[in-house]
């Protein structure tokens, strides 16, 4: 307290949105065109971090079929994995899974096949909820989706060794 | 780790004194018990609307704890512990609907701080705090293991993108990227995935050999002294490397 920071703290979501906005990254939107996506707002990224809008901007470049949970954004529910609930483990696990019922129902109501979330707590919790409440979804972070959808310029790719056979 | 420690009323009273500021008292006294917070809480909704799960009721327990001072007893503390760690994730959704904007997350954090004074902290959180002190991260990852993981992920990525790198301790880089220690431990591919993003975006970035875990479980445990120490680790790394931005992982 009381000291000036010489640096700025930025969440990945804001950084990724900047890259896309500035044209530094290009995504192939067709990759996830067959999937319905929804977005889990991590409490400390959206409500308490103010990055909800940046996340939707990324989604605009990434998803064809996107459905919001109800409620969403600043009013979205906690997944139940926050506040240290995941690492508390042990006897806290059962409470955590039970409290996640609200999130599980929100996700189910969207009919989504992919739930995107940029938070490791949400990610681990929703993967557990996926099993516990049989949601049948895939839980993905933005960077996992980018791995598949980023357009890579040919000159940056490794040369195929068996190319001369063609 | 130590088992449940014996009650220390003197320390509890000291913690109450330490935590009782005007803002907290105002919040606790201004609550009108209007009940608007009830339906905002996922614990309340997921537990068949159990009144014990209403955020205002949990806040009231903190008020009771503060009033107990050195009259704290085992039975109260036991119930308090389960409420304060197990029935609130400090998500702040209730605050959005409170007519007074009462910050239940801060009230919960205060309650956890009172438990810390008694050493009554979930065992697994205690372990992570010890690990931050010993290794600088919550997952007991040594510096050697961390560097090895970064190099391994760089090699993986280079098979596809020969020009991509994972810079370590690059002084003056624009962005210092920090991760959740669960990544090198359980999800190392997260690291090559983000390196791919930075490479394609043409970012001038670096990882740090120390102060690289951006989680702070001591903050969630309510141990603010340890929390300050942990955040200082990242800050030191950022200042030493003279970066302009510290990016925190997804």
B153 and B66 together in one domain: no
Cross-chain Cβ contact A82/B90 below 8 Å: yes
A62 located within any domain? yes
**Chain A residues with beta carbon closer than 8 angstroms to that of B90:** 82-83
B156 and B198 together in one domain: yes
Domain's final residue, options B54, B89, B120: B120
| Parallel/antiparallel/unpaired status of strands A138-140 and A114-116 | parallel
A21 located within any domain? no
Supply the ipTM of this predicted assembly.
0.95
User: For chain A, how many structural domains are there in total?
Assistant: 1
B154 and B65 together in one domain: no
Closest approach of A34 to chain B, Cα-based (Å): 23
Per-residue pLDDT of chain A (166 residues; tens, 9 = 90+): 456 778 999 999 999 999 999 999 999 999 999 999 999 999 999 999 999 999 999 999 999 999 999 999 999 999 999 999 999 999 999 999 999 999 999 999 999 999 999 999 999 999 999 999 999 999 999 999 999 999 999 999 998 765 555 4
Domain of residue B21 covers 9-120
Cβ(A106)–Cβ(A69) under 8 Å?
Answer: yes
Give me the torsion for CA of B104, B108, B110, B115, rounded to 10°. Answer: 170
CATH code for position A128 = 3.40.50
Question: For residue A128, what are its two tokens?
Answer: 């557990």
B221 and B158 together in one domain: yes
B104 and B186 together in one domain: no
pTM over 0.90, yes/no: yes
Q: From CA A107, how far away is CA A99, in angstroms rounded?
A: 14
Give me the pLDDT at residue A162, please.
58
Domain's final residue, options B120, B154, B171: B120
pLDDT of residue B1 exceeding 70:
no
Q: How far is CA B46 from CA A98, A101, A122, in A?
A: 6, 6, 17
B4 located within any domain? no
Model pLDDT for residues B89-120, shown as the tens digit of each residue: 999 999 999 999 999 999 999 999 999 999 99
A107 located within any domain? yes
Q: From CA A146, how far away is CA B193, in angstroms rounded?
A: 8
**Chain B residues with beta carbon closer than 8 angstroms to that of A12:** 194, 247-250
Number of C-beta neighbours around residue B239 at 10 A: 13
Domain of residue A108 covers 27-151
User: For chain B, how many structural domains are there in total?
Assistant: 2
DSSP structure class, residue B215: -
pLDDT of residue B246 exceeding 80:
yes
Per DSSP, the three-state class of B196 is: helix
Annotate A97-137 with three-state secondary structure. HHHCHHHHHHHHHHCCCEEECCCHHHHHHHHHHHHHCCCCC
Give me the pLDDT at residue A160, please.
73
Among B220, B209, B214, residue whose Cα is nearest residue B234:
B214
B90 and B152 together in one domain: no
A16 located within any domain? no
Closest approach of B105 to chain A, Cα-based (Å): 9
In sequence order, what are the beta bridge partners of A11? B248
B169 located within any domain? yes
A143 located within any domain? yes
As a whole number, the mean pLDDT across chain B is: 96
Q: From CA B187, how far away is CA B3, in angstroms rounded?
A: 32
Cross-chain Cβ contact B122/A146 below 8 Å: no
Among B66, B53, B1, residue whose Cα is nearest residue B27:
B66
The mean pLDDT of B179-205, rounded to a whole number, is 98
A48 located within any domain? yes
Give me the pLDDT at residue B176, please.
98
Nearest CB among B125, B199, B244 relative to A84 is that of B125
A1 located within any domain? no
B211 and B238 together in one domain: yes
CATH code for position B87 = 1.10.1060.10
The mean pLDDT of B236-240, rounded to a whole number, is 97
**Chain A residues with beta carbon closer than 8 angstroms to that of B126:** none
Helix (H) or strand (E) holding B126: helix B123-135
Question: For residue B141, what are its two tokens?
Answer: 């990852």
Helix (H) or strand (E) holding A66: strand A65-66
Q: From CA A137, how far away is CA A108, in angstroms rounded?
A: 9
A4 located within any domain? no
A vs B, Cβ pairs < 8 A, gives 166
The answer to whether the Cα torsion of B234, B237, B242, B246 is positive or negative is negative
């Amino acid at each position: 307290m009381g000291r000036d920071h010489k640096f700025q703290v930025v969440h990945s979501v804001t950084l990724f949105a900047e890259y896309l906005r500035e044209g530094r990254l290009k995504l192939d939107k067709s990759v996830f065109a067959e999937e319905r996506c929804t977005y889990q707002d991590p409490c400390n990224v959206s409500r308490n971090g103010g990055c909800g809008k940046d996340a939707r901007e990324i989604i605009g470049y990434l998803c064809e079929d996107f459905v919001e949970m109800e409620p969403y954004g600043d009013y979205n529910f906690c997944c139940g994995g926050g506040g240290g609930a995941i690492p508390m483990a042990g006897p806290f696990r059962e409470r955590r899974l039970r409290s996640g019922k609200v999130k599980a129902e929100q996700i189910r109501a969207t009919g989504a096949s992919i739930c995107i979330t940029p938070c490791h707590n949400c990610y681990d919790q929703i993967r557990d909820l996926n099993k516990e409440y049989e949601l049948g979804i895939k839980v993905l972070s933005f960077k996992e989706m980018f791995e598949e959808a980023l357009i890579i310029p040919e000159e940056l790719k490794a040369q195929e060794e068996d190319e001369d056979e063609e | 780790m130590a088992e449940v420690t014996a009650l220390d009323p003197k320390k509890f009273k000291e913690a109450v004194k330490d935590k009782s500021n005007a803002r907290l008292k105002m919040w606790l006294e201004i609550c009108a018990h209007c009940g608007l917070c009830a339906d905002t809480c996922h614990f309340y909704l997921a537990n068949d609307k159990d009144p014990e799960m209403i955020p205002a009721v949990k806040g009231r327990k903190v008020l009771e704890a503060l009033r107990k001072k050195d009259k704290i007893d085992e039975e109260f503390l036991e119930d308090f512990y389960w409420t304060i760690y197990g029935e609130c994730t400090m998500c702040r959704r209730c605050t959005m609907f409170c007519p007074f904007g009462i910050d239940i997350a801060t009230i919960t954090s205060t309650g956890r701080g009172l438990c810390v004074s008694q050493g009554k902290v979930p065992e697994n959180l205690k372990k992570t705090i010890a690990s931050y002190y010993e290794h600088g991260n919550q997952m007991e990852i040594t510096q050697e293991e961390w560097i090895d993981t970064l190099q391994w992920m760089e090699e993986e990525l280079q098979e596809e993108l020969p020009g991509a790198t994972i810079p370590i301790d690059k002084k003056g880089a624009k962005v210092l990227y920090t991760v959740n220690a669960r990544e090198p431990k359980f999800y190392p591919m997260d690291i090559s995935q983000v390196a791919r993003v930075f490479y394609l975006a043409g970012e001038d970035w670096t990882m740090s050999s120390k102060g690289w875990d951006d989680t702070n479980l001591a903050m969630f445990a309510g141990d603010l002294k340890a929390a300050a120490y942990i955040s200082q680790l990242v800050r030191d790394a950022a200042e030493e490397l003279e970066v302009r931005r510290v990016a925190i992982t997804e």
